[in-house]
Structure 1
């Protein structure tokens, strides 16, 4: 029955997308935004910026180590991981080094390095108790190194975060520790509380909505809502992201870039779904989000970076980008489970390591033959170090095309 239900709904979704303008071809390319869905406003900057801060709002695709305390808790996790990627960097006693210091970089850190600035997590910690009713956090851990370092605490992205709903993926619903999942709305509020406003020296990125789509898709797949309800909720999340962009602009944001979402149906997670119909529905929700986002941003003084098109190009032509595998995760779920004494069984790259010493010979938690520098995906949806480098290169090329960098 579920297969038949998905088949019928996939057909209706095809008609719906056609009526809205079709699939991903209406999104802007990574070389030039396309009419009619998005054209930047006349007031968007086209001159080189003097950037002193890289400010990022989003989810796990941009998380620079917000949950390191969850992965460094001694025997339960062996002190491994820290970011949603193929973590590396040797620490004491065979553990992985604190990723806030020298673990594998994710794209905001790579881009900041290119710009000769730095970005570090705005907060690290965990939510505790039912629905995260309590929190154990350290704000701006880099501040311990001095005032200059405190100015780098501008990566607000957190794994599991949604656009405006505080109950993100991984936040506790019962007793125990879990993810903070500060919504992008709260992330912006926290930035304004600390810095008062945005300045012309801030390079600002908004990259989120993935978790809103995952929540709506999983609720639909479990027969918890109709497809029409899932679509409406996805539209709402995209519209809320437009509103958050307006908020950044209203509070002084000048160099502001918003990123479309990659097609999660083409990730290893998407490939693991039980049918093409399920993948079609998931892809349709991503496209609907992007279409709504682009239409809402049209004419505003922002630029769009099209991660949707970039991801499709990489998947279709992996060798062009130096990638040898984009269908299976680099991280081995069985090895992660063994390294965490059975605490983590889903293969999450948050607990993945290329260097963890698991025995006398020393080995990481990568699958046999896998590599952080040739595989695209660390786990079902998150990039490896290579995947983040490809994304960084594309973003760097785009902001140069915008005229924001030399």
Structure 2
């Protein structure tokens, strides 16, 4: 299987047709990154028992009668093309299993990892998420602090920076909306409850005081606070003594609060949250390019760097489950492009860096699926509601993960040519397409 895979990746022109010998000989392929490159860092303990380990469809997939597609990440497939061997996880563990250094394995990528921040996606639930800079340091510690120059290095990251910033933005926007909504609800309710009293100003003060006192009580809730306001209103001269007569006022105040909260959240996103998130993505790209330059200064001679695919076209960005709308999709696109543009600018014209434009290729795949042999570019092959998917909250902010997805928990039908395994991760076929792109560019550059 591996031999045919290598031939399938490298035998695509640019060399003597009578020879499949690479132009450049590599001692190893060393990979740094996140779940897109992760070769099975978490294939231990319960994850392994559930048939998982890769953030894709684990195991051999393929429709009956068709050529099976083995489950490897693109980085493993590139390793197979360059050295004849798929790469393996250099460090394994997580989710309650201690970290183990694996001899002779050179893929340091881990699902959830960020560029410099150790608090990656899933870290709170037990994932390792060692950042890329730490992954590089771990490799150097095992290799006398240098690169030999005989490695082909692959670097990929940035998606978890986007997920982290999306989470930060969502939390802050929600807080801004809640604050504005709460203030609006209180002010509107007091005004409406007091408007028919003999002395509206005095009634408003009494109702407001009653709400404040109720809020200070142990175990107070919105219901108890509103009840206190209604009772205070019913005791004011001129007002109705029937508590039910104030239901319309409560509904009106609730509607006003919702409108104000939504507006405040939207204004926060537009004026503060989105600019901050985009700036953070630019910073992350600068940090990643700095790490690449550090590798070169320490002896790396051939470094492949991939940019982000178009995250705005993933199920993650398009799903209504995540509350996504067109503005959300546009923000995700802006964050993705900001990262990619800075990364490209920082690494432009460096002779020891091969920059791979995954973003453009990904958009081509989604725009014309049949050209790439894809049958579905919007849905997810994995059934993330499968009862044994105990790690459904790991790997992707706000959605399920394919970490323990395998041939036993796919959706019905032939999913072998789906692009997405879950809301952001490729299927094995998607990884194969990415590996073919990288291998082609390696050949064109004379690096393979």
TM-score range, shorter chain: 0.7 to 0.9
Give the 3-state SS of the residue equivalent to 1:368 in structure 2. coil
Aligned equivalents of 2:133, 2:345: Cα separation in 1: 20
Aligned equivalents of 1:312, 1:296: Cα separation in 2: 23
**Which structure's CA Rg is the greater one?**
2
Alignment of 1:5-404 (within 5 A): 48-72=23-47, 78-88=49-59, 104-115=71-82, 116-126=84-94, 136-140=98-102, 143=103, 150=104, 153-172=105-124, 178-196=126-144, 197-223=146-172, 226-272=273-319, 273=322, 274-301=324-351, 302-335=353-386, 338-340=387-389, 344=392, 346-354=399-407, 364-371=408-415, 373-404=416-447
2:56–2:428 contact (8 Å) kept in structure 1: yes
Deviation at 1:85, TM superposition (A): 0.5
Aligned equivalents of 1:195, 1:352: Cα separation in 2: 35
Aligned equivalents of 2:116, 2:349: Cα separation in 1: 23
**Cα-to-partner distance string for 1:299-337 (whole Å, 9 max, x where unaligned):** 3231200111111111111111111001000001122xx
| Structure 2 residue runs without a partner (length 5+) | 1-21, 62-68, 174-271, 394-398
| Structure 1 residue runs without a partner (length 5+) | 1-46, 91-101, 129-134, 144-149, 355-363
C-alpha change, 1:187 and 1:339, in structure 2 (3 Å) is same
Aligned equivalents of 2:161, 2:376: Cα separation in 1: 28
Deviation at 1:195, TM superposition (A): 1.2
1:110–1:389 contact (8 Å) kept in structure 2: yes
Aligned equivalents of 1:84, 1:156: Cα separation in 2: 15
1:198–1:252 contact (8 Å) kept in structure 2: yes
Aligned equivalents of 2:141, 2:329: Cα separation in 1: 41
Aligned equivalents of 2:162, 2:90: Cα separation in 1: 25
C-alpha change, 1:347 and 1:217, in structure 2 (3 Å) is closer
C-alpha change, 1:57 and 1:252, in structure 2 (3 Å) is same
Structure 1 runs of 4+ with >4 Å offset: none
Under a length normalisation based on structure 2, what TM-score does the superposition of the two structures give? 0.66
Under a length normalisation based on structure 1, what TM-score does the superposition of the two structures give? 0.73
Aligned equivalents of 1:160, 1:247: Cα separation in 2: 22
> Where is the helix percentage greater, Structure 1 or Structure 2?
2
